[in-house]
Amino acid sequence: MSELPDFHIVIPARYASQRFPQKLMADLGGKPVLQWVYELALKAGAQSVTVATDHEIIEKAALAFGAPVVMTRDDHENGTERLAEVAAKMGWKGDEIVVNVQGDEPFLPVKLIHSSVIALSQDEEAEMATVACVIDQVEDFFNPNVVKVVCDEKQRALYFSRAPMPWDRDGFANNVNRTGLLPADFPALRHIGLYVYRASLLARYADLPMSPLERWEKLEQLRFLHQGIKVQVALADGLPTHGVDTLDDLEKLRYQLSLA
């Protein structure tokens, strides 16, 4: 792997969640989910790791396990807005790299952080980066909850979609088999929601309007492509362990820990 440049990690941490309220404070192997995320972020070797929250309970818990905290506004619509506020408060320069590590991803592989940071640093024209892995299951390819991405020859994103893409015109022309394996050389990529930004892009984020594509697909990354912003895509070896979206997800992770 290439030399790792300097970067910052921000962990947006919302207390409320529609599907699983207070999930970041849920116990996982004797400590809160958020603490697992903070500790893995420390292992990544960032210049700084900051928890960004608008809730006193999150702040108190984070300070208790030693995490620096920046209190943010309570009207942010997404983690990117919270990241932008932190970058502004920290006074990070435009070319500095900021990684958004979700507070509900306790087992995110550190190597994904590194590969996405390196991908962005090596593409001078790109302003953000993300991660994708190969799709091999036909079922995943046709699943609208699995976001697909297609890239150009420089490994920059051309488009993200919930629809199956690219389309095998001849192979899918007749009856489509929705199970089994895709051809080994079929260029289907699954987007993994890890985002890395240059601070200069975060500073402009508030002025970027929602795009029509984003409104229909419900994918925030399309806002950037609509504005002509270049998004570099790092390739992962496989799909990382799923985060904590529901109580069932938490129970599965607890079970995995019990086997370790």
Mapping DSSP to helix (H, G, I), strand (E, B) and coil, where does residue 66 land?
coil
At CB < 8 A and 24+ separation, what contacts does 213-221 make?
217/160, 217/161, 217/162, 218/162, 219/147, 219/160, 219/161, 219/162, 220/78, 220/80, 221/130, 221/157, 221/160, 221/191, 221/195
Q: What is the pTM of this model?
A: 0.92
Q: What is the pLDDT of residue 6?
A: 96
Round to whole Å and give the CA distance between 100 and 43: 15
Q: What is the pLDDT of residue 259?
A: 85
Q: What is the pLDDT of residue 77?
A: 83
Round to whole Å and give the CA distance between 106 and 83: 19
**β strands within the chain, DSSP E:** 8-13, 27-28, 31-32, 48-53, 69-71, 97-100, 128-134, 148-151, 157-161, 189-198, 231-235
7-130+191-259: CATH superfamily: Spore Coat Polysaccharide Biosynthesis Protein SpsA; Chain A (3.90.550.10)
Per-residue pLDDT of the chain (260 residues; tens, 9 = 90+): 578 999 999 999 988 777 788 999 999 999 999 999 999 999 999 999 999 999 999 999 999 999 999 999 988 888 899 999 999 999 999 999 999 999 999 999 999 999 999 999 999 999 999 999 999 999 999 999 999 999 999 999 999 999 999 998 887 876 667 778 898 899 999 999 899 999 999 999 989 999 999 999 999 999 999 999 999 999 999 999 888 989 999 999 999 888 87
Q: What is the pLDDT of residue 78?
A: 86
Round to whole Å and give the CA distance between 25 and 17: 11
